[in-house]
Chains A and B, each alone.
Chain A
């Protein structure tokens, strides 16, 4: 990695506009690999702007070496005056002849600036270095002001001819896995105006000229109604409204939602009911039958029933997994996916992982299942692994489903889990979870920065003939791992013992505190990534996976031997 010194030199070369293609490539590579370099890049850009401003203010117009010519700033002020005159004339319905005169005046000013800018370019090209140095004191300090002035002239001309400039309502600013209905030409950068959008799948970020942005989650149908709002026919979106765009609205079949500076999600379901959840700030909603506004604050949610216009309060937690709030680069990495957020990465594209991606291998018929067959951890660099980032739920399965069991098969022959794991978010999270009559769980607990203990946990509640009650018995163990490294994890369980292996070495072995056979069976549901418990007491999600990579996940209906585990760990 180049030093900060080298990065700074590259940035200065870029700033001066004389960076060579190979040096640009180097800069690009550095920025791609380091957020620190990006931050430094912007700090240098900001410092450069501060110095330019400082230099401009230090040399006031009166101090410049050529004082006879009017400064661009003075002319800019004149242009504002002309602008004002035009406005007045328009207000008064002034005669066409007078308007023409003012227009000519504006154009003359424009020519004056164009000549000024041209002179600057000639000076740069023809004058000797020393002369350039002195002449530039005036010219460089004026150039941006001149730009600003020409902007004002453009505005004047706009006032004259009204809508000569394209008046886009919004722009597509980001897309991911998008599939549009009749969406030819809808790409990042496409300007939109009064347009109906039908996003069948994936995500699209649209930024309005007022600064408000919305993240559409396919499937969604939306009409862009104006520069300040849209009509959501069906589907989900999250709107972020900066303070300057207060008043931004979303109309739905059952409600009008007006922003008061905030972030909120709107969901129009298949019955045209509107769900509104406020993440930040304040919004108001009104309905066709009740135009008086109902305010919703941060952390609150309301549902407007389509048929009756009744506004119901809803627990905002329900929407926790419904709305995708961010669409920045970090989130891109996670490759949100509508149906499942488990991605099998192929050529940097997320392929939805589902049961069809799993296959039973012939050598252990009906006893063995492996995700992502054929991909080895050594080749993946994260890109071909199963990337688990759980938002709306988890990848869940049951053995019975996987193996097409006609009958429920008990766990009494033991089970094994083998997989490669890399943590890429510095938080505690659940890796595997299974809850029914028994509870099996693998999770990571953050200990210190980037360090974790990996826990397995197994609990059963056998019925005690002595106490006449279910007695919870549990066993757990842990071993330390670091964030950002690949580890081979294997856990085996038979009637007596549960073992944890990391990179082929036994870390923990605990006796299972029950003489009974294992209580699990092939109907038990198992979750990877997240655990949204339908079985827990409060029926709420217990944990959200923030992101990890998992590869070569293997689940066996028998106990892997120590040698088999060593082989698996050494196979990379």
Chain B
């Protein structure tokens, strides 16, 4: 049986398939890297876990479909936020006024100041590692319970037998020290 030469159509198809495969991989990697930031961006405006998850999903669908339009040199998170913004707007329109949603004026103001959620995420993430190391063992323990176990402050209070109010204070303090430490680390990195 004579060997058939690969057709031009076949080459094109393979080429397209390879491109699609690479695109999918890239999208998956970028989405995984940014999922928490994007989710929190949405949550910041809707304040409800299940709504935020739905909107995250809808946003990611659009991002995936439009991924070929994404400029690899630009900010994936900023692009995602732009798409999420439209979804959130639409969601607000459908919600009853009784929902725990920020007032229109405030919402727009917050939108205009929300860029910082897409700024320097990777730099800050790297800085966070060393900032966590600087925490006291006790604070570190609390943070682990909060984030690795996913417990809410009230649940932690029940678990470890400390007053809720005191725990809120402790978490505020820990988060604040991390926030400031990250800022300092980044500044130090810039001046180095």
Contacts and interface: CB of A to CB of B under 8 A. Distances in A.
Interface of A: prevailing SS: helix
Contacts of A139: 150
A527 to B, nearest CB: 31
Contacts of A41: 44, 110
A59 interface: yes
A379 interface: no
Contact of B128 (A50, A132, A187): A50
A136 B49 CA distance: 16
B86 to A, nearest CB: 4
A207 B110 contact: no
A282 B49 CA distance: 42
A42 B49 CA distance: 17
Contacts of B21: 84
A258 B73 CA distance: 20
A511 interface: no
A52 B74 CA distance: 24
Contacts of B147: 51-52, 54-55
Interface in A8-36: 8-9, 12-19, 21, 24, 28, 31-32, 35
A80 interface: yes
A189 interface: yes
Given A137-B149, A207-B86, A5 B172 contact: yes
Interface in A237-258: 242-246
A80 B28 contact: yes
B83 A47 contact: no
Contacts of B49: 17
Contacts of A17: 47-49
A58 interface: yes
B159 A133 contact: yes
A89 B95 CA distance: 41
A211 B118 CA distance: 15
Nearest to B145: A133
Interface string A335-370: 000000000000000000000000000000000000
A38 B148 contact: no
A230 interface: no
Given A189-B90, A242-B78, A53 B36 contact: yes
B78 A47 contact: no
A38 B110 CA distance: 7
A59 to B, nearest CB: 6
Given A50-B125, A80-B24, A151-B64, A45 B17 contact: no
A542 interface: no
Q: How large is the interface on B (under 10, 10 to 19, 20 to 34, 35 or more residues)?
A: 35 or more
Contacts of A246: 71
A114 interface: no
A137 B64 CA distance: 28
Contact of A129 (B69, B113, B155): B155
Contacts of A28: 102-103, 106
Contacts of A47: 175, 178-179, 182
Contact of A49 (B17, B40, B61): B40
B57 A151 contact: yes
Contact of A39 (B61, B69, B113): B113
B109 A9 contact: no
A456 B70 CA distance: 55
Interface string B110-121: 111110110001
Interface stretch (A100-108, A152-160, A531-539, A543-551): A152-160
A24 B102 CA distance: 9
Given A41-B44, A171-B89, A332-B108, A49 B132 contact: no
Contacts of B92: 189
Contacts of B144: 55
Given A21-B100, A45-B44, A48-B40, A38 B62 contact: no
B149 A136 contact: yes
B105 interface: yes
A2 to B, nearest CB: 12
A494 interface: no
Contact of B69 (A152, A174, A245): A245
Interface string B42-79: 01100111000100110011101110011101100011
Contacts of A127: none
B168 A12 contact: yes
Interface in A124-153: 129-130, 132-134, 136-137, 139-140, 144-145, 147-148, 150-152
A210 B57 contact: no
Given A53-B36, A54-B128, A91-B17, A148 B31 contact: yes
B72 to A, nearest CB: 9
B66 A189 contact: no
B158 to A, nearest CB: 7
A187 B61 contact: no
Interface string A297-333: 0000000000000000000000000000000111010
Contacts of B20: 84, 87
Interface string A184-198: 000111110000000
B24 A31 contact: no
A152 B28 CA distance: 9
Contacts of B102: 28, 31
B40 A209 contact: no
Contact of A53 (B105, B109, B125, B132): B125
A88 interface: yes
Kindly list the 4 A-B residue pairs having the minimum CB-CB distance in the complex, ordered from nearest.
A189-B93, A329-B109, A8-B172, A328-B112
Interface of A: 4-5, 8-9, 12-19, 21, 24, 28, 31-32, 35, 38-39, 41-56, 58-59, 73, 76-77, 80, 83-84, 87-88, 91-92, 129-130, 132-134, 136-137, 139-140, 144-145, 147-148, 150-152, 154-155, 158, 165, 171, 173-174, 187-191, 207, 209-211, 227-228, 242-246, 328-330, 332
23 contacts: A16-B152, A39-B113, A42-B44, A46-B116, A46-B121, A47-B178, A48-B40, A49-B37, A53-B37, A54-B129, A73-B32, A76-B28, A129-B151, A130-B159, A137-B149, A148-B35, A151-B31, A151-B57, A152-B28, A189-B92, A191-B90, A244-B79, A332-B105
